[in-house]
């Protein structure tokens, strides 16, 4: 009996040892599988990041191709109608065109371009909704939003968005006049800062006004900006000619 018990114990010990070894092997396999899956996930993530970087580079290239400011279009978009009305569609289009100029100032000013993009999008969305018939021109929009108490809501009204854009337009008009002058003294940045403080900046809080007036002082020279506009124009004309010659 004792011999059989010892044999049973030995067998049980062997079985337990074998089970333990199998469990360890299974754990090792699972760890290996997890490592492989993690590596695949990291590789996929890296590929996605690479794709995102490529997309960003392509977007930047496309943006650069579109940075040709059409001043005639801007003038036409901001010209009132025969009876003094201000149609919203061309008004918004004019700001989007001016945004090209803001981007040309350099990456330091891209946050301004983004702000313009956000505010024009507010008006565009309202024009596209079911009640879009009230957003045909500036007068009809203000009347509709006042009658429906939309000016006091937390979300930005079309009227407020246009008001903020128009304040920026005051600065842009004066700035463009200064930029086209031949002389380089006083520096464009200094002049731009003064123009901002007397126009758009006069409506803004001190914590916004003071930093931005300093940022404007870092603007490049008049000649640099004019040459940048010319370079973009020449580049676009060359691409248009190259595209046309392929079909000729």
Name residues whose C-beta falls within 8 Å of residue 120's C-beta, 6 or more positions apart in sequence.
Answer: 92, 95, 96, 99, 161, 165
- String of DSSP letters for 17-43: HHHHHHHHHHHHHHHHHHHHHHHHHHH
Please tell me the predicted confidence (pLDDT) of residue 162. Answer: 92
Alpha-carbon span 217 to 119, nearest angstrom: 25
Residue 10 lies in a domain: no
Residue 240 lies in a domain: no
**Per the structure, how many domains does the chain have?**
1
Q: What is the pLDDT along the chain (248 residues), one digit of tens a residue?
A: 545 555 555 655 565 655 566 666 666 555 555 554 555 555 566 556 555 555 554 554 455 445 567 878 888 888 888 788 889 999 999 999 988 888 888 888 888 889 999 999 999 999 999 899 999 999 999 999 999 999 888 888 999 999 999 999 889 889 888 888 888 788 889 999 999 999 999 998 998 899 999 999 999 888 888 887 777 666 655 655 555 455 54
Residue 143 lies in a domain: yes
**Domain range for 203:** 67-225
Please tell me the predicted confidence (pLDDT) of residue 64. Answer: 47
Please tell me the predicted confidence (pLDDT) of residue 234. Answer: 61
Residue 107 lies in a domain: yes
CATH of the domain at 78: 1.10.3520.10
Residue 153 lies in a domain: yes
Please tell me the predicted confidence (pLDDT) of residue 100. Answer: 86
Please tell me the predicted confidence (pLDDT) of residue 27. Answer: 63
Residue 8 lies in a domain: no
Please tell me the predicted confidence (pLDDT) of residue 248. Answer: 45
- String of DSSP letters for 190-240: HHHHHHHHHTGGGGS-HHHHHHHHHHHTT---HHHHHHHHHHHHHHHHHHH
Q: Is the previous residue joined to 108 through a cis bond, with omega within 30 degrees of 0?
A: no
Please tell me the predicted confidence (pLDDT) of residue 15. Answer: 59
Name residues whose C-beta falls within 8 Å of residue 92's C-beta, 6 or more positions apart in sequence.
Answer: 120, 123, 124, 127
Element (DSSP H or E) covering residue 124: helix 110-128
Element (DSSP H or E) covering residue 87: none
Please tell me the predicted confidence (pLDDT) of residue 238. Answer: 60
Is residue 164 helix, strand or coil? helix
Alpha-carbon span 242 to 198, nearest angstrom: 45
Please tell me the predicted confidence (pLDDT) of residue 90. Answer: 93
Residue 105 lies in a domain: yes
Phi (first) and psi of residue 203, to 5 degrees: -95, -10
| pTM recorded for the entire structure | 0.64
What is the CA angle 123-126-129, rounded to 5?
Answer: 155
Residue 27 lies in a domain: no
């Amino acid at each position: 009996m004792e011999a059989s018990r010892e044999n049973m114990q030995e067998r049980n010990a062997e079985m337990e040892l074998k089970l333990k070894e199998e469990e360890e092997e299974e754990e090792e396999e699972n760890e290996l599988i997890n490592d492989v899956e993690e590596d695949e996930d990291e590789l996929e993530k890296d590929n996605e990041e690479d794709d995102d970087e490529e997309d960003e580079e392509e977007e930047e290239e496309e943006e650069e191709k579109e940075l040709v400011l059409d001043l005639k279009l801007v003038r036409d978009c901001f010209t009132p109608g025969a009876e003094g009305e201000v149609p919203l569609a061309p008004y918004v289009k004019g700001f989007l065109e001016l945004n090209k100029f803001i981007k040309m100032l350099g990456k330091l000013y891209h946050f301004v371009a983004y702000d313009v993009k956000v505010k024009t999008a507010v008006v565009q969305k309202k024009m596209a909704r079911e009640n879009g018939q009230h957003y045909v021109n500036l007068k009809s929009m203000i009347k509709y939003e006042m009658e429906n108490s939309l000016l006091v809501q937390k979300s930005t009204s079309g009227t407020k968005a246009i008001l903020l854009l128009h304040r920026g337009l005051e600065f842009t008009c004066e700035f463009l006049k200064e930029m086209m002058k031949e002389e380089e003294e006083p520096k464009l940045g200094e002049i731009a800062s003064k123009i901002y403080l007397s126009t758009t900046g006069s409506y803004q809080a001190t914590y916004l006004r003071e930093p931005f007036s300093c940022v404007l002082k870092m603007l490049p020279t008049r000649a640099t900006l004019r040459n940048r506009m010319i370079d973009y124009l020449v580049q676009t004309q060359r691409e248009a000619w190259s595209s046309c010659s392929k079909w000729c």
